[in-house]
Amino acid sequence: MPAEGANLQKELNPLANAERQFEDAASRLNLPAGLKEVIKKPRRATIVNLPVVMDDGSIRVFTGYRVQHSIARGPAKGGIRYHPQVTLEEVEALAAWMTWKCAVVNIPFGGGKGGIICDPEKLSKSELERLTRRYAADLSDLFGPESDVPAPDVNTNEQVMAWIVDTYSMHERRTEYAVVTGKPLEVGGSAGRREATGRGVLLCIREASAHLKLPLRGARIAVQGFGNVGSVSADLLGREGAVLVAAADVSGAVHNPNGLEVAALIRYVADHRGVKGFPGGQRLETPIVEHDCDVLIPAALENQITHENANRIKARIIAEGANGPTTPDADRILETMGVFVIPDILCNSGGVTVSYFEWVKNRMGLYWPEAEVNQRLEHTMVTAFRDVLAKSLEHRVNMRVAAFMVAIERVVKVMMLRGLYA
């Protein structure tokens, strides 16, 4: 492989990136050497091979993973991803990010993540159900409200969570809603969960714009990925007077310097399965991350901003709705350009925060109305943003390094207090 290709492949490795981000922050903290090694590695990684009877009567075996990165601050928490390219390394990286995310927003969870190598597009609903139930059954020793609490991630949804609740409950011989979050409202889900990540993105952008003295009213927004996180962020920002000038998804990209009408675009995407052809804007030919705007929200996939395109970014603020959209090499370039990056472990933590509320409500048996959920979310997010900003100003580091520093300090504090068992 040519050197440039090999370098790029290394730059796009999520586990290597998660480790670099950790090292960058950890090297600035006075951590006991041994302890640093303990929290770098996942606590436990499980591989399961799952036999499933397909609709035609044949048997297929799918490989699945569950990684618990840390349980120091509470049960492992993190989603389950169904994707043909899932790897153990990717799940390890995502599990570590969950540890830091939960610590940044100061909720009592550790970090975990799961995945199954499969293409859900090619499975029938009943095959998907049997696969999910087998995964949940095989891992039911790990899962539990006190030990490991999964949630939806790429290609898993409320229905998948309902199947896991049912499978786990059958094994336990009692209904246990708190074993997963992101459930349907009727099965112990939380009001406001669907909008929670986008609402958190809005709250972070609002705090950042106040800090940078960039008015939100009239700010030009570009959103990559017009799914749950991207569309809710755009909608809520529009209500604050910001203008959506460009939006992209897998179907294509559209722009309008005078503003795309967000509600109409959301309706159009629901009817046409993508932004492509939206009559309220023109087709965007250039990459959306390079679009002229004040705030860029990558809300699609990892590795969208790399050393190759970082110097063409025009946004003043990047609000990471997606996990891992910016590589560490790109971070360095953006920092020299003065771009204010709100890192994923802070920016998209609204989802796990409301998942925490869902878990609390399941355990209390008391369900808060949406207004109360939103109020608590705002308090949690604003506090977290201000903690990270204060760390960033104190140590003269960017927001990503500061967020990791806050998170690592919180995890280490608990580990020191608890001590190492045996």
Give the nearest distance from C-beta 249 to ligand NAD in angstroms. 3
Q: Is 213 a catalytic residue?
A: no
Query: Closest Cα to residue 180, out of 348, 359, 370?
Result: 359
SS (H, E, C) 226-285: CCHHHHHHHHHHHHCCCEEEEEEECCEEEECCCCCCHHHHHHHHHHHCCCCCCCCCEECC
Question: Of 362 and 397, which has the nearer Cβ to ligand NAD?
Answer: 362
Query: DSSP string of 31-98?
Result: --HHHHHHHHS-SEEEEEEEEEE-TTS-EEEEEEEEEEEE-SSSSEEEEEEEETT--HHHHHHHHHHH
Query: What's the closest the beta carbon of residue 45 comes to ligand NAD, in angstroms?
Result: 20
Nearer Cβ to ligand NAD (224/327) = 224
Q: Which residues bind ligand NAD (CB under 6 A)?
A: 197, 224-230, 248-250, 299-301, 321-323, 348, 351
| Nearest distance, CB of residue 210 and ligand NAD, angstroms | 23
Rounded CA separation 131/118 (Å): 10
Give least dist CB 270 to ligand NAD, A.
12
Please say which residue, 26 or 180, places its beta carbon nearer to ligand NAD.
Answer: 180
Q: Closest CB to ligand NAD among 125 and 273?
A: 273
Q: Which of 113, 183, 361, 391 is catalytic?
A: 113
Residue nearest to ligand NAD (CB): 227
Rounded distance between C-alpha atoms, residue 298 and residue 168, angstroms? 35
Task: In angstroms, give the least distance from the CB of 188 to ligand NAD.
Answer: 17
What does the longest C-alpha to C-alpha distance in the chain come to?
65
Nearest to 247 by CA among 267, 263, 262, 258: 262
Choose between 323 and 327: whose C-beta lies nearer to ligand NAD: 323
Q: Rounded to the nearest 10 degrees, how much is the dihedral formed by the CA atoms of 26, 30, 35, 38?
A: 0
Task: Return the active site residues.
Answer: 113
